[in-house]
Amino acid sequence: SLLNSRYKLVCYYTNWSWYRPGIGKYSPEDIDPSLCTHIVYGFAVLGNDGLMTAHDTWSDYDNRFYERVVEYKRYGIKVSLALGGWNDSAGDKYSKLVNDPAARAKFVQHAVAFLEKYGFDGLDLDWEYPKCWQVDCSKGPDSDKQGFADLVHELSAVLKPKGLLLSAAVSPNKMVIDAGYDVPVLARLLDWIAVMTYDYHGQWDKKTGHVAPLYYHPDDDTTYFNANYTIHYWMEKGTPASKIVMGMPMYGQSFTIENRGIHGLNIPVSDGGEPGEYTRAKGFLAYYEICDRIRNSGWTVVKDPYQRMGPYAYKGNQWVSFDDVEIIKKKVNFIKSLNLGGGMIWALDLDDYRNRCGQGKHPLLNAIKTELLNPKIEMEKEMQQKPHK
């Protein structure tokens, strides 16, 4: 089983997924305990008082979601609580917290009590991002980097003696890494660093692009928007491979393209793609929505012949990039070849967990598990497979 393997498979659970209609509704009981070594519950938030608090008391408390997810500890899975996320990272509240030693001390005491009260095994820090608030590096003070490192230091000092875990989800973007993270300190003190190697491209680019490229593509604007570069960069800055878990998306970035006659990479888009019928967010589709479109609605799939990235699919003026089983397996072999700590997924409720598309339940997550447990590493015929740069 995964729990006896040397790899982590860190699965994010989202407490808003149960509000989705019909087959999109995902509850704690839908988690398959054989597929994860760690479950991270998203999200708790930072209250106005500078303390960690439930984001949705209706699901978390009244419907006992904290308890229902923490139940999975009985399988030997570690269950952490994530603090932050994209929406909660707006504004200056995290910056205020980390830059004030008294506020940090109060936060740490309360956070540890909060975790213990609900039986969580650890805390996962998801501030996006120190110095570069929601990727705008002109917003935060330079001191965020030191302040975040200080918070990690102070949390670690209290959590570690109690046998509780401390981890973080971090940016894949070189600019943000340089500005926001004291990498050697984080690498020493965190139990794992989950690198969010996805959302490299999206509607914000005003052109089509792949959500999570594995390797550089000659038509890219930069050399560093791919997992291969990102992971090596985190290691170069001082992170041991064993502390890195590499993120993989169970969703796609979608686009509305301007000219339906042209449908490749880097073509102009007018907007994010139309919302999915279950996930209901512009520019975003769950894997189970994508595979259904391909299977039942006649979307055309285009694969990269060199497997530098997963496929994209389109129909009319709708276009989506995503990871399929094939590229996921290649990413897992990449994880193994570098001796990384394991893989991470965003998120449990976005994979085809009901077998809507006939590839079995949780096809992407199962592909990660199978490949992690596969004793051999597919040594790539590098020169044949990768175009010369």
Beta-sheet strands, E only, within the chain: 8-14, 38-46, 52-54, 78-84, 122-126, 165-170, 192-195, 244-249, 251-257, 269-272, 284-286, 300-302, 312-315, 318-321, 342-346
Q: Is 128 annotated as catalytic? A: yes
Are the beta carbons of 165 and 158 closer than 8 angstroms? no
Q: Which of 291, 312, 278 is nearest to 355 (CA)?
A: 291
- Relative to beta strand 244-249, strand 192-195 is parallel
Phi, psi of 195, deg, nearest 5 = -90, 120
Task: Retrieve residue 279's tokens.
Answer: 């996930």
Residue (of 1, 67, 78) closest to 38 by Cα position? 78
Q: How far apart are CA 281 and CA 273, in angstroms?
A: 9
**Which amino acid belongs to residue 188?**
R
Match 């894997």 to its residue by tokens.
Answer: 287
Single out the catalytic residue among 67, 128, 277, 371: 128
∠ CA(297), CA(26), CA(118), 5° rounding? 160
What does the H/E/C string look like for 70-91?
HHHHHHCCEEEEEEECCHHHCC
What angle (nearest 5°) sits at the alpha carbon of residue 76, between those of residues 84 and 78?
15
Alpha-helical (H) ranges within 143-250 are 143-159, 174-180, 183-189, 227-236
Q: Give the separation between CA 356 and CA 257, rounded to whole angstroms.
A: 27
Residue positions annotated with a catalytic role: 128
